[in-house]
Amino acid sequence: MRIGILALQGAVEPHAEKLRSRGAEVVEVRLTRDLADIAGIILPGGESTAMIKILHKNKLWEDLKAFTATRPSWGVCAGAILLARKVTSPEQASLDAIDVEIERNAFGRQKDSFIGDLVSTPSWPKEPVSGVFIRAPRIRATGPDVQVLLKWGDEPVMVRSGKTLLSTFHPELTDGTQVHDYFLSFCQP
Amino acid sequence: MSEMRLKTGLAEMLKGGVIMDVINREQALIAERSGAVAVMALERVPSDIRKDGGVARMAAPEIILDIMDAVSIPVMAKARIGHFSEAAVLEALGVDYIDESEVLTPADEQYHINKFDFNTPFVCGARDLGEALRRISEGAAMIRTKGEAGSGNIVEAVRHLRTIRAAIRKLTTMGEEELVNESKLLGAPLQLVQIVAKTGKLPVPNFAAGGIATPADAALCMHLGAETVFVGSGIFKSSDPERLANAVVEATANYKDPQILAKCCRSVGTPMKGLDIHKLAPEERLQERGW
C-alpha cells in the first residue's frame, strides 16, 4: 500500500520509518502529481505557517484540499492545524477537512512541551499510548460527527471523523506503531 | 532521556525549513510571512558583528521579548560559548532554542556550557565529527555547521558538511576494535562513536549555517546532508530581503527539483556582497572559536 507524507517541511522521516516498518510504501508529497496514486496521506508536524506558504507556492493547496475532503488523511500537530475547520491564535486559513476548532501553541512555548500518558476512550481499539506534545495545539471544539479516541486528562488529543484523523501529539516520536497501524487500517481500499 | 526526546523533537519539526536571523520585530514578521520555520533573535547580524568589532554578547532581553511577542513560530537566541549565565537568562525569558554560538565572543576558552543543566534545547556549531560529538555529549540537541558566519561565502559550510559526512561514512565501515582508536583520534566519547557507526548518522538533527546567501546555496547544503538551513546576514543584507527570504524557503523545500530552483533564483535582487575566506586573518575566522 502506498501512503503519502506531505514533505514540504517538518518531521517527515520518523513517519516514513514507522510506515516502512509496517510494510507500506512511502511517497513524499510535494506537488499535485504526487497525490495521484496514494491510499492516504499524513500531514506531519512542523510549522503550519511555513507549510501553508509552500503549499501555495507549489500550487498544491486546492488539490490537497480536494484529496483530504474524501480520502484517508491524518494530521499531526501542525498537520492537525492544517486539517481543522477553524484555527485560532492567530486565525489562519485551513483545509477544513474535519469539524474541529483548534488553537495553535495553546500549551505555550517549548518550555511547556511535555510527555504525558493518554487516556483511551472506548472508541480506541489499540493499547494505550503516551503522547509527546511539542509546542502543541489544543482542540477547543468538535462537531457532532467527531469521535474522541484519546484524551489527555479530560481534553481530546486524538479525534476522528470518517476517514480523517487528527492528533495534537507525535506518535512518530515514541516507540510502537499502534497509531500508524490504526491509520493504515482505514487506508485499506 | 524523555527530556532529550522533547529537545530533539522540536528540531525534527524544523526540518526542511529555513531559520532566519532577525534583529527586530519588523524583520521577524517578514521572516514569518516568508515561511521561515523559526527566527534567531540577535542584536546585530554576523556581518555587522564582524564589521563593528568589539565584544559581541547575548542580545538585550527587550529585543528578544519583542520578537517573541511578534511571531507565532519558535524564537531562538544566542549565548556566548561557555556563558551559562547568559543561557540561564535566555531560558528565563522563555526562548525556544539556545544557540551556544561562535558568532558571539567566547566567555570561556576552555569549556562549553553543560547543556544537560537546562530544559531549553541547545544548538551548537561544529566543523568536524569530533566537535559535533563533543557538543552532543555536553547535551546539544541539534548540531549545525559553523561555516564562516557573516561571510556570505558558502565554502566553509560546504567543507564542514562534507567533513562530517565523510567521517560518518568512515565509521560505518570500521570494526569494533577500530572504533576505540577512532574515538581517541576524534576526541569524542566511544559510546557516541558506536551509535554513529551503527546508524550512519548523527544522533541529533544536523543543520547547516554560516555563509548561506542565495537559494542555490541553501539547496546545495540540503543536497550535502543538511536537514535545515540557517540564513544569517544573507537575507537582511541583500537588496530585497522579503523576496530573497521567500525564494530561499521555496528552494529549500524543493531542493531536488532544478526547475523550481531555477525559478527561485530569478529576480531575487542582489545578494550580500560576501568575503573571500582566504583574505580573512586567522583572528577574523569565527569558526576557530569552540573547543
**pLDDT tens by residue, A125-183:** 999 999 999 999 999 999 999 999 999 999 999 999 999 999 999 999 999 999 999 99
Q: What is the mean pLDDT of chain A?
A: 97
DSSP 3-state assignment of B174? coil
Query: Which pLDDT score is estimated for B94?
Result: 97
Fold of the domain spanning A2-185? Rossmann fold (3.40.50)
Confidence band, pLDDT 50/70/90 cuts, at residue B68: very high
DSSP 3-state assignment of B232? coil
Q: Determine contact: A114 vs chain B, CB below 8 A.
A: yes
For chain A, what are the domain ranges?
2-185
Q: Which chain A residues contact residue B254 at CB under 8 A?
A: 30, 58
Find the CB nearest A46 among B2, B37, B249: B37
Query: Which pLDDT score is estimated for A159?
Result: 98
Query: Which pLDDT score is estimated for B2?
Result: 53
Q: Are B248 and B21 in contact (CB under 8 A)?
A: no
Alpha-carbon distance of A84 to A102, in angstroms, equals 7
How many residues comprise chain B?
291
Alpha-carbon distance of B169 to B103, in angstroms, equals 29
Cβ distance of A30 and B97 shorter than 8 Å: no
Average pLDDT rounded to a whole number, residues A99-113: 97
Cβ distance of A47 and B38 shorter than 8 Å: yes
Q: What is the mean pLDDT of chain B?
A: 95
User: For B253, which residue in chain A has the nearest alpha carbon?
Assistant: A8
Residue B32 scores a pLDDT above 80: yes
**pLDDT tens by residue, B238-260:** 999 999 999 999 999 999 999 99
Residue B1 scores a pLDDT above 50: no
Beta strands in chain A (DSSP E): 2-6, 25-29, 40-43, 73-76, 84-88, 98-103, 114-117, 119-120, 130-133, 138-142, 147-152, 155-161, 164-167
Cβ distance of A50 and B73 shorter than 8 Å: yes
- Nearest chain B Cα distance for residue A21, angstroms: 16
Q: Determine contact: B10 vs chain A, CB below 8 A.
A: yes
Cβ distance of B36 and A11 shorter than 8 Å: no
**pLDDT tens by residue, A39-55:** 999 999 999 999 999 99
Average pLDDT rounded to a whole number, residues B269-278: 88
- In this prediction the pTM is 0.96
* A172 has catalytic annotation: yes
Catalytic residue among A77, A103, A180, A187: A77
Note the ipTM here: 0.96
Q: Determine contact: A1 vs chain B, CB below 8 A.
A: no
Residue B175 scores a pLDDT above 50: yes
Average pLDDT rounded to a whole number, residues B19-40: 97
